[in-house]
Structure 1
Amino acid sequence: MARPPELSTAYARLILRSELLSPARALRGTGLTEESLAREAFLPWRVFATLFDNLERERPGLAWAPVLGALFNINAHGPLGFAALSAPTLGAALDVLASLYPARTSAMRAGVEQVGRRYYLWLEDVTGDEVFGVRMALVVMRIIESLLEAILGHPVGHNVEVHIKGAAPAADVAISGAFNARVLFGAGRSALSLPATWCALPSPLHDEGTYRANCIRCREIIARRERDGSTTAAVSGRLHNHFDHLIGGNCPPEPPPTLAQIAREMHVTERTLIRRLGAEGSSYRTIVERQRRELAASLLGRAGLRVAEVGELLGYRDPANFGRAFRRWYGCSPARWRRGH
């Protein structure tokens, strides 16, 4: 049987240390103590729902949610946070958060997509509790805003928009004041959006070794915790292993495993795999595209690789096809991107 949605206990410990309320009041109704928290790595989402209820009781109005999100430092997010901060570009950082989030929580789904000239990282609650979903979205969006500001080196401003699902609460002014981004209520789903051109911005915090090591660590955590877990994460892990094997060794380039090959490895039919990915709002093509996009910027930063070699490592045997894909992702040719970065 699959686990119920969970979150990392590190977040509960930070709530207790946040000074937004006393530890005793924070833990009221959870059945937990500070000592028992030290023995757990993950907690059921209902424990966090109770923690949030206690915060709301002390500080009515939901403005506490983004305030809490701003207090979560990089250590709170473990390898997921370190992977995002050390990613090669701002877009790669968002892609990491969207693909490796199960390393810290299974209480939501996440994804990225470009719509017109804007790039979105969206969140969907999986608990079925709308109140909890809105609270989580406000906390997580403020965390992502802080990450972007660390990469940019300045507050995000209103070029970044935070979209919150559902009608605006009575305290929407106080909530908006806790963000530097523009906050918009009434969205169909919660998301953070920014100009798509920002995705190509190189991160001054990029470190290839740290980035890859923490991505691998996240995938190990996800794999270990999955029982009947996320099909998207399982497919992503297999594709990541393929690319890591090529990039880390001296192997001749070869295309990534096909949908049919992955289905055989997972002992399901192609149709079943497609259906399971679709139920999670994903697809094989989306996963491959995201990983190629993320790796393209990283590999082009290596002086020892020609543009054509980067394309081959990503499974593009025709350089023209790689060039077309790269223009779709970043709005310019690989060679021009390399000159600019």
Structure 2
Amino acid sequence: MAEFLEQLPMPLAYFRLILRGFGDTPARREAILAGTGVSEEMLLDPSAEISLRHQIVQIENLIGLFGEGWALRAPALWNSTTSHGPLGVAGLAAPDLATMMDLIARFGFVRAPFHRTSLRRGANWCQLDFDLTVDIEERLWRSMMEIAFIGIRAGIGAVLAAPPTQARFFFACAEPDHAREVRAVLGDGVVYRARGNAIRFPAAWLKLPSPFADAALYAVAVRELQEAKARIAVPVDLLGRVERILKSQPAGRLAADEVARLTGVSRRTLVRRLSEAGTGYRELLDRELRGRAERLLQEDSLSHARIAEELGYTDPSSFSRACRRWFGRASQVSR
């Protein structure tokens, strides 16, 4: 199961947002990060990605710190359009509520890969159904579902310009101890022990135009969602991500364990996926070092020993052997 969860990419934005909202002391920040495998370097790296496994560990930590109703302690975190990335932006920039709901159904799993969303319409009602696709504990998926419901309720309320009091929020679980807090945020229309997780609201709302409609912004956000969907639909481009990470390093070097952390997978998964791509980590590292060595040698401004140092070789003779292996002629490395 852990390896399966590692294959599901999760936006690092939620992880950062949760850490900022709840890690208000050094001790809490450390406790929220414990066991996740997410480093401070990853949090600062805009190219770093995580998996659903990392997010689940973080949520387990939050439950340990604040209890199962932790997400209700800071509902403002989930109300912001930017909290939900391109999905939130596209939803509000959409021409009407019907388009917003369609976007959530089409692209919801891009931001929350633990469920698939579908849209049903009756004569007088419309319903978003959330079908769980990952076998995780109820206390974990319920927290994530609460966050999703708070965000969608905020989007509907923004279009209505009023609280969506007629909306109903269905949870496919027993009523938790923090149900009162849930109703304080979502309203009285919260129902537990439902057949499935869902949001139902009057069909007439679908025709409401969005006061935030912006065709250009909508188009940009939808393109980003389509690209994210394509990355999930096919095997993640781990090879390209590893290559980009190596290129970003000052000496082009990084331990395989650290690269695995930066790409959001275990070392075992990293090795397996690179093998499936027809290569290995040592080969990628060697290729990056060779390219750098070739460029530096052509500059003709650095000594052989300095180039070796630039590439992280502690012994110039090791660099010489590598150059002979790469370029085949000793004359190319004698400086």
Matched, 1:59 2:62: no
- 8 Å contact from structure 1 (residues 15, 68) kept in 2: no
The answer on whether the counterparts of 1:8 and 1:41 sit within 8 Å (CA) in structure 2 is: no
Structure 1: how far apart are the matches of 2:234 and 2:104?
A: 21
Residue identity opposite 1:4 in structure 2: Q
Deviation per CA, 1:104-159: give whole Å up to 9, x if none: 232221111113421111212222113222221111111111111222222222x0
**Deviation readout 1:75-130 (Å, 9 max, x if unpaired):** 23222111101111112111111102243232221111113421111212222113
Q: 1:171: how far off?
A: 2.1
User: What is the 5 A alignment of 1:1-341?
Assistant: 4-19=7-22, 22-39=28-45, 41-60=48-67, 62-72=68-78, 73-131=80-138, 132-157=140-165, 159-180=166-187, 182-227=189-234
Cα deviation, residue 223, structure 1: 1.4
- Among the aligned pairs, what percent are the same residue? 26
Deviation at 1:35, TM superposition (A): 2.1
Which residue identity lines up with residue 35 of structure 1 in the other structure?
A: E
Whichever residue aligns with residue 214 of structure 1, its letter is A
Q: Deviation digits for residues 228-250 of structure 1, max 9, x if unmatched?
A: 69xxxxxxxxxxxxxxxxxxxxx
Residue type of the alignment partner of 2:11: S
Q: Which amino acid aligns with 1:81?
A: G
Residues 168 and 190, structure 2, Cα contact 8 Å, conserved in 1: yes
Contact kept in structure 2, 1:5 and 1:127, CA below 8 Å: no
TM-score, structure 2 normalization: 0.62
Code of the residue aligned with 1:101 in structure 2: it is: G
Q: Which has the larger radius of gyration?
A: 2
Secondary structure at the aligned position of 1:186 is classed as coil
Aligned length: 227
Distance 1:138 1:160, change over 3 A: same
Where has structure 1 moved over 6 Å in runs of 4 or more? none
Distance 1:168 1:96 in 2: 29
CA distance in 2, matches of 1:135, 1:182: 18
Counterpart AA for 1:136: M
Partners of 2:105 and 2:117 within 8 A in 1: yes
> Which structure 1 segments of 5+ residues have no match?
230-341
Structure 2: segments with no counterpart, 5+ residues: 237-335
Deviation, 1:191, is 1.0
Distance verdict in 2 for CA 1:224–1:10, change over 3 Å: same
Counterpart in 1 of 2:275? none
Deviation at 1:69, TM superposition (A): 5.0
Contact 1:66 1:179 in 2 (8 A): no
- Residue 188 of structure 1 and its aligned partner are, at CA, apart by 1.4
Once the two structures are superposed, residues 261-282 of structure 1 have per-residue CA deviations (whole angstroms, 9 ceiling, x without a partner) of xxxxxxxxxxxxxxxxxxxxxx
**Counterpart of 2:59 in structure 1: which amino acid?**
F
